[in-house]
Amino acid sequence: MSYPQSPRKAGMPREVLKWLQSLELSVYPKNVRRDFSNGFLVAEILSRYYPQDFPVHAYDNGTSLASKQRNWRQIERSLQKQNLHLMKDVIDRSIHCKPGAAELLVQEVYTLLTNQSIRDVQGPQSDFTDEEYQELLPAVARSTASRAIKNNLRITEIMAEPDISTNQRKTEAILRRHLEHKAAERVNNPGRFKGRANLGRLASRNLVPSGRRDECFAKSEGTTSKVCSSSTCRGAAVSFKEIKVHQPVRHSLINN
C-alpha cells in the first residue's frame, strides 16, 4: 500500500526551482525543510545579490539550534541594512522544520530578490501543521494523539522556549485539534467505529439508578444474602451477596 508523499519533501513552483539551479549553490537542496532550516543556504543565496553584506564564510553550516539561531540573527541584521525584511514567524517555523515553512520562506526570498510574484504562493494563513498531509492518508494510517504532538511540537521549540505554560498551551491546542478531527471522522464514517460491545459497555447499559438501587435489596431475617427481587432490577442480570469474614481474635502480648 502506498501513501501520499510526506510534506517534508513537498515541491516548490517550477520558476523557483529553475532560479535555485541558476544560482549554482554549493549544495543543492534535496530536502527543503531540512536544508534551509539553519539559514546557511539562504545566506549563500543572498550573497549572490549582496556579496559584501553576506559573506558565506561568516555562517555556520551546522544543525544545532544555536547555529541556526546565530545564522538567522546575522541574516536579519544584514537584511535590515538593505531595508529588506522576511517574516519573523516564517523564519521561526523554518528553524524548527515545520511543514510548509521552508517552502514559503524560499518563495518569499525569491520574490524579495527578483521582484517577481508567484501565482500559487502559499499564503500567510498557513498554520504550519501536518493537517493537510493527514487528510490525504487513510484513516488507519493517521497519527495518534501522541504522534500528533511529536509531529507538531518539535524538541527545538521546547529548547528555544522552555516555558512550561507556553508548551502546555501548544500541546493542548494540538490535542484539541486532534480530537476535533477524530470527532468529525466518527460523524463522517460511523461504520468504522461500530465495534463489538465489551463488558464495560454492557455493564453501563444495565446499571440501576442510585435512587432505586436500595429497593432492589431485600434483607431477610437470619440471612445476609441480598437478592434483586424488585421489578426495577429486571434489566440487570447481576445478583449480589454479602459475605462476612470472621477475623481471628488477636491476643495482645502484653496480656500474656
Residue 142's nearest CA partner among 93, 184, 95 is 184
How deeply is 160 buried, as exposed, middle or buried, from its count of CB atoms within 10 A (0-12, 13-18, 19+)?
middle
Residue 148's nearest CA partner among 161, 134, 158 is 134
pTM: 0.65
Residue 69's nearest CA partner among 85, 84, 49, 91 is 91
Element (H, E) at 160: helix 155-160
pLDDT band, very low/low/confident/very high, at 192 (cuts 50, 70, 90) = confident
Proportion of the chain above pLDDT 90, given as a percent: 50
The DSSP result for 113-130, as a single string, is: HH----TTPPPTT---SS
Rounded CA-CA distance 12/15 in Å is 8
How deeply is 110 buried, as exposed, middle or buried, from its count of CB atoms within 10 A (0-12, 13-18, 19+)?
buried
How deeply is 96 buried, as exposed, middle or buried, from its count of CB atoms within 10 A (0-12, 13-18, 19+)?
buried
pLDDT band, very low/low/confident/very high, at 117 (cuts 50, 70, 90) = confident
- pLDDT of res. 253: 55
- pLDDT of res. 195: 65
Rounded CA-CA distance 120/223 in Å is 82
Specify the DSSP class assigned to residue 253: T
- pLDDT of res. 2: 42
